Copies of this chain bind each other. A is one copy, B any other.
């Protein structure tokens, strides 16, 4: 079992996924069905994703806030499509402080309703716009077929909620979030290429007039919805009585957006970059970029390993020194591979005699003998290559498993293996309904050349069809 006893991805992708999540000590099932414990290795990666997103969200002018976990059940009923979309998934608190509650409260599945009940108070004048709010929070959607990170009853996410003076401004902001926050983080930080497009009416968010989505292809050819940004029109403004006096004194309704990404991004990271030996992390997200391993219990080895770790740290690299020589070197190497640390520096007595160490790139598994004086520059140069190379590999998979087709039957066939690109005018809502019967769906509508659709005229739109998580 060369692959550290993992099931191979090709043999059983879902089982491989579970084994990586467990083996890399990223997460476990919680005691209540569908809930999840995120262990330190998984959480440290999430913290880095969070930090990347948070800085970009703030750069758009949004401010963080926090709204309550508990929402009166009646709030959900105010927006008709919204309640229809979320009712089947709600967790309901009926007792508090030892008594039955007069009105049951729901545990937030998303916060549009409670946020907008406050926007109604905070938005009075055109000077109060745009109002740009984000929150980091846990949300709950009762999940019958849970899978760690991908679909859990409770998950962690950020949800943005904004109000603008015009539809054009709301759309521009919702696209800015998609492009400058989500796509920038997914591509530049997570090294995951994504398709960006509009959801069809069938697939869009309950209560939105337009939903923009970023979709990525996982290692098994299936799609994962990575994040969405919704134009809500004036639906919630009407439902929650949000209005403001314009510059000329007239009462106006604001145009709104909401947008979110969640801890499922960690699932994407595993399923896009993982291989038969475990996780492969882009350095930007790795809790440790380099692990310096003392191969065995030896004074010279300990000294050299410590010195290399210090030198790398001084060069600004996040380093872990692994001197647990009482545990076998093979066992430790397999564990670090599983955890996806981008670079291992193996310090052994034989190499040291020749004034060198072994540098191992996790993503290629290539080993190189490197002279002691060269360890820092060679390691930092290698680290700089990992992200782009992982991204190129994922982009090649995406391109290789995407087919342009012209007929619904072909779309079904191609969508089973990867993504099918089919003109929307040849598919349409009826074709879309047929896909559903085959466990396929339209992941998004793109422009004819893969760019964003300029408007709602869908004549030229191309539907991206695939199976999805």
A residues sitting closer than 8 Å to B (CB atoms) are 28, 30-32, 35-40, 43-44, 46-47, 63-72, 75, 87-98, 104-105, 107, 114, 117-118, 133, 137-138, 140, 142-144, 153-154, 156
Complex interface: chain B residues within 8 A of A68 (CB): 30-32, 35-37, 154
**A128 nearest CB across to chain B (Å):** 12
Let me know if B32 and A72 touch, CB within 8 A. yes
Let me know if B87 and A28 touch, CB within 8 A. no
Let me know if B107 and A107 touch, CB within 8 A. yes
**A87 nearest CB across to chain B (Å):** 7
Task: Identify which of B47, B66, B67, B143 contacts A64 (C-beta below 8 A).
Answer: B47
Let me know if B92 and A91 touch, CB within 8 A. no
Task: Identify which of B66, B87, B91, B95 contacts A156 (C-beta below 8 A).
Answer: B66
**A142 nearest CB across to chain B (Å):** 3
Q: For the complex formed by this chain, how many copies does it contain in all? A: 2
Instruction: Decide: A92 near B96, CB < 8 A? Known: A37-B68, A40-B133.
Output: yes
Instruction: Decide: A64 near B44, CB < 8 A? Known: A31-B71, A31-B117, A140-B69.
Output: yes
A–B complex contacts, Cβ < 8 Å, 18 sampled: A30-B70, A31-B117, A32-B71, A37-B65, A38-B65, A43-B66, A44-B63, A46-B66, A68-B154, A69-B140, A70-B91, A70-B140, A90-B95, A90-B98, A91-B96, A91-B97, A93-B94, A97-B144
Let me know if A40 and B65 touch, CB within 8 A. yes
A95 to B123, CA, bound (A): 35
A169 to B142, CA, bound (A): 41
When C-beta atoms are compared, the residue in chain B nearest to A102 turns out to be: B33
A234 to B363, CA, bound (A): 44
Complex interface: chain B residues within 8 A of A142 (CB): 96-98
A107 to B70, CA, bound (A): 11
Complex interface: chain B residues within 8 A of A137 (CB): 138
Task: Identify which of B28, B70, B89, B156 contacts A118 (C-beta below 8 A).
Answer: B28
Let me know if A64 and B92 touch, CB within 8 A. no
Most buried by B among A28, A89, A90, A91: A91
Let me know if A95 and B92 touch, CB within 8 A. yes
Instruction: Decide: A35 near B70, CB < 8 A? Known: A89-B97, A93-B107.
Output: yes
